[in-house]
Structure 1
């Protein structure tokens, strides 16, 4: 004969909570899905759980400003879908000026810049790691503003030009015009900042869209030999060879000792 159970007595299976359903307490939050579970989403914000092995960790820095799209001037192969950090260093043992090496975060040389020692004009060439000329940078003479022009490889195909926005400047302000910009009423890019602090930013036209940022790097070579070394962060989908060329022109304009504009 079955015994009657009091109305307030819990059944045996109600006496303890299910192991997968912990009791709700103040401040309690359910655990996020883990990598082995089918509803795990590595792209979601789930504190405490890294992405799948081989997938880069989320970038803790603020989101990068968006541009209108990929910007290619020298070559599409120089547009990466992620930020590119470069070091542009003046060669410590080189004779003359305008010689630089450009390395990535692992110290690998990706570009070299070589100046023309015995040229009547200020000129330097940006080359890839194999020594192929990518762009020739040449100062244009007899202009009201100090102006540089960039040509594809070692040809006469003009890619872009750079000039000071005004003759007298107390801060860095350069305007960049693509060869297709015939009117030159509005610049395609601009470089602003403080050359004295070696801190400059490359913008898209007259907008506030940031394409790249430059800052001074201090190392043993810069201390012993007085050679400049710059750290440059190029934002995603921006031609980083083009940005390197701009930084070299920026250097040459500010280090020109002729005193002539």
Structure 2
């Protein structure tokens, strides 16, 4: 089993687990998500976090009942699009559980995840989140989670870009993984706005 940062032990599983992640807007990056398990049960949700949200640059991950699990906020100023993750709704006066940053502000780059209070527990995201084809690797270069385009099991047809799969390896916290998905989506949205086109914002070096 992979052992790492745990936001909520209720989302740590002994076997490989696949979630279906659905964006709640077909038109805008960074609008919201609903996440379902293999039985169609709602596991996580993220309401709109655009310009009308309570804090611009803040994203709140909730469980299926609406309880706050994790808050990620953009750290300013930051040249490398650094984000920080806080357990629950605690931000002011509390230390972040982890931070996420791009390795470069231009060109091809990976995304690095640093876990506080455990210097040896770092992660990297490699691949293309824009194409929903990327992998989260631990410090030993082992895959702990994967993001892939969703394929309809009955027709073998690849679904639209608004739906994808999040596969968790045994022991890797699903709430932590979804927190990283939210940051990746925001980085991708920033690239969309800055470049005026959809780009592969996260690519392997």
Q: Same fold (TM over 0.5)?
A: yes
Matched, 1:230 2:164: yes
Task: Name the residue aligned to 1:125.
Answer: 60
**Mapped contact 1:174–1:192 kept (Cα < 8 A):** yes
* Length-normalised TM-score, structure 2: 0.79
In structure 2, how many angstroms separate the alpha carbons of the residues matched to 1:106 and 1:153? 26
Higher strand share: 2
Number of aligned residue pairs: 184
**Mapped contact 2:30–2:189 kept (Cα < 8 A):** no
- Which SS does the other structure have where 2:148 is aligned? strand
Task: Name the residue aligned to 1:75.
Answer: 8
- Which SS does the other structure have where 1:85 is aligned? strand
Alignment of 1:59-138 (within 5 A): 67=2, 70-92=3-25, 97-116=30-49, 117-119=52-54, 121-138=56-73
**Mapped contact 1:98–1:252 kept (Cα < 8 A):** no
* Length-normalised TM-score, structure 1: 0.63
**Mapped contact 1:175–1:187 kept (Cα < 8 A):** no
Matched, 1:176 2:113: yes
Q: 1:196 to 1:129 in 2, by over 3 A?
A: closer
- Which SS does the other structure have where 1:251 is aligned? helix
Task: Name the residue aligned to 2:203.
Answer: none
Larger relative contact order, structure 1 or 2 (CA cutoff 8 Å, min sep 6): 2
CA drift of 1:118 comes to 3.7
CA drift of 1:105 comes to 1.1
Greater CA drift, 192-201 or 114-123: 114-123
Alignment of 1:177-256 (within 5 A): 177-181=114-118, 188-205=122-139, 207-217=140-150, 223=160, 228-256=162-190
In structure 2, how many angstroms separate the alpha carbons of the residues matched to 1:120 and 1:130? 22
- Which SS does the other structure have where 2:194 is aligned? coil
Q: 1:192 to 1:94 in 2, by over 3 A?
A: closer
| Structure 1 residue ranges (4+ consecutive) displaced by more than 4 angstroms after TM superposition | 93-96
- Which SS does the other structure have where 2:40 is aligned? coil
Task: Name the residue aligned to 1:140.
Answer: 75
In structure 2, how many angstroms separate the alpha carbons of the residues matched to 1:75 and 1:176? 18
Runs of 5+ unmatched residues, structure 1: 1-65
Residue-by-residue CA offset, 1:21-72 (whole Å, 9 max, x unaligned): xxxxxxxxxxxxxxxxxxxxxxxxxxxxxxxxxxxxxxxxxxxxx64xx224
In structure 1, how many angstroms separate the alpha carbons of the residues matched to 2:112 and 2:28? 30
In structure 2, how many angstroms separate the alpha carbons of the residues matched to 1:87 and 1:238? 16
**Mapped contact 2:145–2:177 kept (Cα < 8 A):** yes
**Mapped contact 1:115–1:123 kept (Cα < 8 A):** no
Runs of 5+ unmatched residues, structure 2: 196-205
